[in-house]
Chain A
Amino acid sequence: MNQFITAVLTSLSTGAIYALMSIALVLVWRSTRVINFAQAGQAILTTYIGYEVVTRSGSYWIGLICAVISGALLGAGIDRFFMRPIFKRVNSGPIVMIAPVVATLALLGIIQAIIGFIWGLSYQTIEAPISTGGLTIFGSIVAFSPFNLMVLIAVTLSMISLTILFQKTNIGLALRASAYAPEIAKLSGIRVDAVRTLGWALAGAAGGLAGMLYIPGSNLYPNAMDVLLVFGFIAAVIGGLDSLFGAVAGAMILGFAVNFSASYISYKLVFPTAFLILIVVLLIKPKGVFSSGKSRSA
């Protein structure tokens, strides 16, 4: 029973972190049709900024806010000054499909190298603001801490805010219209380029949040978020790449599958389980498990 409860709770909190990365990838995909590999670099760079602020100010919370804001600014900057010129320059031939993705890979490498120069390659830690010791449930200690609970609450609140933003506000309508049909949005007078940059900013903020919630339970080093990029990507594919709801659901499916196989069989199964799910989804429902059979529209 204890093992089961532990597995459920850790599935939820790791799934929540995957969900943030997955949402970051989906936001960029929806607005730009690019799989942003640099997301791992953006997230870790902003987490380093958060780390620096935490160290200097002594407050995790100020660090968290700085990481989220710098994540948004970095994301917006990358779209405006890096991706947009690339899309402008590369506009015909087979390279159109490849150039932006390769560019994000290059950016990932550059960002991680810059981090190495500034902060070095050794492990750093960010102290969690609340206890990371296991909670006591039904008289026994489980591997789920108050900090894990905080992660779950923080991610849930972010999802609710994002949903309200997308479904209930004018900006959200502009974001959705620009994602579904950029040309019609432009002809309706919507500044699609600016809306797109906003999508990158939101994605960057989600990445910064993911880093600040993930790293206190792990270590800080330039490649620390790479594994989350992979899991976030798999979750996004499970969810159909286009859907924010799908991204979260995919992340939860992945969180449960990975944690249960690790908990009940072997921790060595974490990666095989994740990739097995990816392959099964691609073979059986390549448009995502929540697609209604109709083709994924642009």
Chain B
Amino acid sequence: MSLVVENLTIDHGAIRAISNVSFKVPEGQLAAIIGANGAGKTTLLRTLSGLKEAVSGGATWNGESILDKKPEDLARSGIMHVSDGKSVIAELSVKENLALTGLWRKDKKDVAAATAEVVELFPILGQRMAQTAGSLSGGERQMLAIGRSLIARPKLLLLDEPSLGLAPLIVEQIFQSIKDLVKRLNLTVVLVEQNAMGALKIANEGIVLSLGSVVAVDSAQTLLNDPAVRAAYLGF
């Protein structure tokens, strides 16, 4: 199983957001897509999860095209997109937010088991079950959003800026749990981040986007150590 993106081109309104982007993420690997604000990272993820149409090119998961499918069908087939910021439903309780990804699953026993695992992973959620998601802190919301996606037993996780607006200590904690999850559940992850340093530290591979095009692809370690890449694209 792997995610293969080939010559993908996407428009955002009248603007070409992504042009001719190709990359591959093998099963069980974490790829970080980094780049400045406006590089087209979010548009790319929205297309991979079925929220947005591509102009041309292809994307396959496990050999099957994912571009012509609806987001709810992709979600049900194990491709979970945790959209940017804190993608929780503020009006619903923590418990109800977690239940969303279990509603359509037939195996209710496994839903219960998966929910218990999520609470074990993020114990704070267990204490907040009856509270509305709107009352959570930014970090707790991010845990809830990731936790909710895990209850669907995903194979491919698309994470959009999980660090957005979080305190550095919390960011480190979230990144660490993502890294652990990849290892423990053999997840394949596409992590879109502006926080390039943090993302590359946990990633296997790094893909640098600039103005809608791929400008560098290499192992995360190499990108972190390459002074030219650091200066030109990572800004540190």
- Taking Cβ atoms with an 8 Å cutoff, the residues of A that contact B are 170, 173-174, 176-177, 180-181, 183-192, 297
| Contact between B104 and A181, CB atoms less than 8 A apart | no
Given the known A-B contacts A189-B75, A192-B72, are A184 and B99 also in contact in the complex, defined by CB atoms under 8 Å? no
B128 within 8 A of A: no
Whether A187 and B80, one on each chain, are in contact in the complex, defined by CB atoms closer than 8 angstroms, is yes
B83 and A183 form a contact (CB under 8 A)? yes
Interface 1/0 per residue, B79-103 and A, CB below 8 Å: 0111100011111100010011101
A138 CA / B103 CA spacing, docked (Å)? 53
Contacts of B101 in A (CB 8 A): 188-189
Binary A-proximity of B117-138 (CB < 8 A = 1, otherwise 0) = 0000000000000000000000
Nearest-CB residue, chain A, relative to B100 = A188
Partner of B87, one of A170, A184, A191, A192: A184
> Closest chain A residue to B13 by CB distance?
A92
CB neighbours of A170 from chain B (8 A): 99, 103
Given A173-B96, A173-B99, A176-B92, are A187 and B83 neighbors across the interface (CB < 8 Å)? Answer: yes
Residue among B49, B99, B104 making CB contact with A187, cutoff 8 Å: B49
Q: With a CB–CB cut-off of 8 A, which chain A residues contact B152?
A: 188-189
Q: Which listed residue, A180, A186, A187, A191, touches B92 by the CB 8 Å rule?
A: A180
Q: Which residue of the partner chain A has the closest CB to B105?
A: A189
B76 at the interface (CB under 8 A from A): yes
List, in ascending order, chain A residues with CB within 8 A of B88's CB: 184
Ordered by A's residue number, 6 sampled pairs between the chains whose C-beta atoms are within 8 Å are: A184-B100, A187-B71, A187-B75, A188-B101, A188-B152, A189-B152
Q: Are B87 and A187 in contact (CB under 8 A)?
A: yes
- Contact status A186-B89, CB under 8 Å: no
B41 CB–A CB distance under 8 Å: no
- CB-CB nearest in chain B for A242: B91
Interface: B148 (CB within 8 A): yes
Interface of A is mostly: helix
A189 to B92, CA, bound (A): 17
Q: Give the contacts of B54-72 with A (CB-CB under 8 A).
A: 70-72
Closest to B75 in A: A189
A184 to B91, CA, bound (A): 13
Instruction: Given the known inter-chain contacts A173-B99, A174-B103, A183-B83, please indicate yes or no for A188 contacting B92, CB distance below 8 A.
Output: no
Contact A177 B89 (CB under 8 A): yes
**Best-surrounded residue of A173, A177, A187, A192 (most CB of chain B within 10 A):** A187
| Chain B residue contacts of A190, Cβ below 8 A | 72, 100, 103-104
Which of B51, B72, B89 makes the CB contact (< 8 A) with A189? B72
Measured between beta carbons, the chain B residues less than 8 angstroms from A191 are 72, 104
Interface pair A173/B72, CB less than 8 Å apart: no
Docked Cα-Cα span, A185 to B89, in Å, equals 9
Q: Please indicate the chain B residues that have their CB under 8 angstroms from the CB of A185 in the complex.
A: 89, 100
Q: Is the CB of A297 within 8 A of B91?
A: yes
Whether B99 pairs with A181 at a CB distance below 8 angstroms is no
Kindly report which residue of chain A lies nearest to residue B82, judged by CB atoms: A187
- What CA separation (Å) do A176 and B92 show in the bound complex? 8
Once the chains bind, are B51 and A183 in contact (CB under 8 Å)?
yes
Interface centre among B88, B103, B148 (most CB of A within 10 A): B103
Cα-based distance from A180 to B91 in the complex (angstroms): 7
- Residues of B close to A192: CB separation below 8 A: 72
Task: Tell me how far the C-beta of A62 lies from the nearest C-beta in chain B, rounded to whole angstroms.
Answer: 35
Cβ of A187: which chain B residues have Cβ within 8 Å of it?
49, 51, 71-72, 75, 80-83, 87
Complex CA distance for A188 and B92, rounded to whole angstroms: 14
Question: Hey, which chain B residues are within 8 Å of A186, CB to CB?
Answer: 51, 70-72, 75
A183 to B81, CA, bound (A): 11
Q: Known interface pairs A187-B49, A188-B75. Does A173 touch B103 (Cβ–Cβ under 8 Å)? A: yes
A184 touches B96 (CB 8 A): no
Bound-complex Cα distance A174 to B103 (A): 8
Determine the residue in chain A with the shortest Cβ distance to B91.
A180
Q: A177-B92, A184-B88, A297-B90 are in contact. Are A189 and B81 (CB under 8 A)?
A: no
* Interface pair A189/B76, CB less than 8 Å apart: yes
Give bound CA distance, A184 to B72, whole Å: 10
Which single residue of chain A is at the shortest CB-CB distance from B80?
Answer: A187
Give 10 new A-B contacts, CB below 8 A, not counting A177-B89, A180-B90, A184-B88: A170-B103, A176-B96, A181-B89, A183-B51, A184-B83, A185-B89, A186-B70, A187-B80, A189-B101, A297-B91
Chain A contacts for B70, CB-based, 8 A? 186
Provide the residues of chain A in CB contact with B104, threshold 8 Å: 189-191
Q: Indicate if the CB atoms of B89 and A184 lie closer than 8 Å.
A: yes
- Look across to chain B and name the residue whose beta carbon is closest to the beta carbon of A294: B134
CA gap between A191 and B75 in the complex, in Å:
10
Contacts of A297 in B (CB 8 A): 90-91
